[in-house]
Amino acid sequence: MTSKPVRIAVIGAGGIGRKHIELIASDDACTLHSVVDPAPTAASLAADHGVAHFADIATMLAAGELPDGAVIATPNHLHREAGERCAQAGVHLLVEKPIADTLTAAQALADTAEQHGVALLVGHHRRHNPILIKARELINAGAIGPLTAVTATWLLRKHDAYYEAQWRREQGGGFVLINLIHEIDNLRFMAGEIDAVQAIVSNARRGFEVADTAAVLLRFSNGALGTLTASDTTPSSRAWEINSGENPDYPHQADDCYLFSGTQGSLTVPGMKLWQHPGEPSWFEPLQTTDHSVPAVDPLVAQLQHFADVIRGAAQPVITGNDAVRTLAATLAITDSARSGEAIHL
């Protein structure tokens, strides 16, 4: 028997909100319940999809039949309030990353969801990408031996119009919370928990109150050390968006933005080449490569299908509120470390 489509409201009709609306409208497992956003363009968008439009969450919750779930796609500082209102009404949540803009707000939202018995899935959608899943599997299976070093690069040139939205230029926005939180979550997912962060950041190129460039040192619980070099001000061939091919909006560039190195080999990601000495591990011996590439999947589609299963009770969130709080803590540690000049121990 085919399950009845779950009804999902989208709260926040900006860029990522519109993407969620498109995905919900095209997926048989879901149906769009409503669009919640005060902007006139949101009303037009709702009309185009033949669903209700509400200017705010309170009006949506008071209107009658509640949605089964809600996607929270508002600016970061509004995640807690929107999520808590829905949770208190018994509506399951998919909250866009970061879960919130502060650790206090993030933990409060996670606690509220738990107290009201609603599922909270956080939108670190790359955890649904087969590339990361396979890389994690290989690393955990010991394919490269005990993990020793991690090298991550995120270098892109954002177009200037991206920062016309004021909140992106202010505390609570910026590329650390908007973009590097993805990188931190990717690294936590593949390499394990992060114990300590030390960082230097700069705003010298864009001049905003938030950083545009960062150099980060990481210590993982398993003893591995890592580096993350990042900026949104420079054209480069190395960044997840353009290397992974998961989003067709970004022109694909065949390169690798991650290198995971262990005592018995190294793994490049997303190219998924395993580098090993076929005989004695020695720098005098030649290396050979093994291809571990996997078929492409749109992780946003996979995330939505997973959310539908979570709403039905058929699955548990692959990243819970408390898990996302740990990713946020490691990400905020970048700015905290840069401000203090000291390592932040998590």
Q: Looking at the structure, do residues 156 and 176 belong to the same domain, yes or no?
A: yes
pLDDT-above-70 percentage for the chain: 99
What would the pLDDT profile of 229-270 be if each residue is shown by its tens digit?
Answer: 999 999 999 999 999 999 888 999 999 999 999 999 999 999
Which strands make up the sheet holding 273-276, listed edge to edge?
A: 288-291, 273-276, 266-269, 258-262, 147-155, 225-231, 213-220, 194-202, 344-345
Distance CA 327, CA 202 (A): 22
Residues 78 and 51 in one domain: yes
**243 and 126 in contact (C-beta within 8 Å)?**
no
**CATH code: domain of residue 255:** 3.30.360.10
| Same domain for 107 and 140 | no
Amino acid at 321: G
Q: Which helix (H) or strand (E) holds 266?
A: strand 266-269
Same domain, 93 and 15: yes
Based on the fold, state whether residues 186 and 49 are members of the same structural domain: no
Q: Distance between CA 240 and CA 153 in Å, rounded?
A: 8
Per the CB < 8 A criterion, the answer to whether 122 and 185 are in contact is: no
Let me know if 340 is exposed, middle or buried by CB neighbors in 10 A (0-12, 13-18, 19+): exposed
Check whether 149 has a pLDDT greater than 90.
Answer: yes
At 241 the pLDDT is 95
Does residue 198 share a domain with residue 339?
A: yes
Query: Within this chain, do residues 210 and 89 fall inside the same structural domain, yes or no?
Result: no
- Give me the pLDDT at residue 2, please: 56
Domain boundary among 99, 118, 137: 118
Residue 307 belongs to a domain? no
Residues with Cβ within 8 Å of 291's Cβ and at least 6 positions away in sequence, in order, are 272, 273, 274
Q: 180-211 pLDDT, tens per residue?
A: 999 999 999 999 999 999 999 999 999 999 99
**Residue 69 and residue 93 in contact, taking contact as beta carbons nearer than 8 Å:** yes
Show Cβ contacts of residue 5 under 8 Å, excluding neighbours closer than 6 positions. 28, 29, 30, 31, 308
- First and final C-alpha spacing in the chain: 47
User: Beta-carbon neighbour count of residue 277 at 10 Å?
Assistant: 15
Same domain, 180 and 85: no
- Please say if the pLDDT value at position 173 is more than 80: no
Same-domain check for residues 114 and 34:
yes
Per the structure, the count of domains in the chain is 2
Instruction: Tell me, yes or no, whether 133 and 111 share the same domain.
Output: no
Indicate whether 3 pLDDT > 80.
no
For residue range 28-69, list pLDDT tens digits in order. 999 999 999 999 999 999 999 999 999 999 999 999 899 999
Average pLDDT on 320-337 reads 97
DSSP H helices in the chain: 15-25, 40-49, 57-62, 79-88, 103-115, 130-140, 174-175, 181-191, 240-244, 299-312, 321-340
Burial, 169: exposed, middle or buried (Cβ in 10 Å; 0-12, 13-18, 19+)?
middle
pTM of the model: 0.93
233 bridge partner residues: 157
Per-residue pLDDT at 14 exceeds 80? yes
Both 105 and 171 in one domain: the answer is no
- Boundary-marking domain end, from 90, 118, 146: 118
> 79 and 201: one domain?
no
**What's the token pair of residue 213?**
């460039």
Residue 1 has pLDDT above 50, yes or no: no
Q: Please compute Rg for the chain using Cα positions.
A: 21
Do 138 and 275 form a contact (C-beta atoms < 8 A)?
Answer: no
Do 31 and 8 contact (CB within 8 A), yes or no? yes
Query: 98, 118, 138 — which closes off a domain?
Result: 118
Tell me, yes or no, whether 106 lies in a domain. Answer: yes
Kindly state whether residue 304 falls inside one of the protein's structural domains. no
Q: How far is CA 219 from CA 135, 166, 327, in A?
A: 19, 34, 14
Classify residue 324: in a domain, yes or no: no
Q: Which residue has the tokens 């009658």?
A: 64
Is residue 269 assigned to a domain?
A: yes
What mean pLDDT is reported for the chain?
95
DSSP string, 169-231: GSTT-HHIIIIIHHHHHHHHHHH--EEEEEEEEE-TTT--SS-SEEEEEEEETTS-EEEEEEE
Q: How far apart are CA 126 and CA 134, in angstroms?
A: 12
Domain that holds residue 247: 127-296+329-345
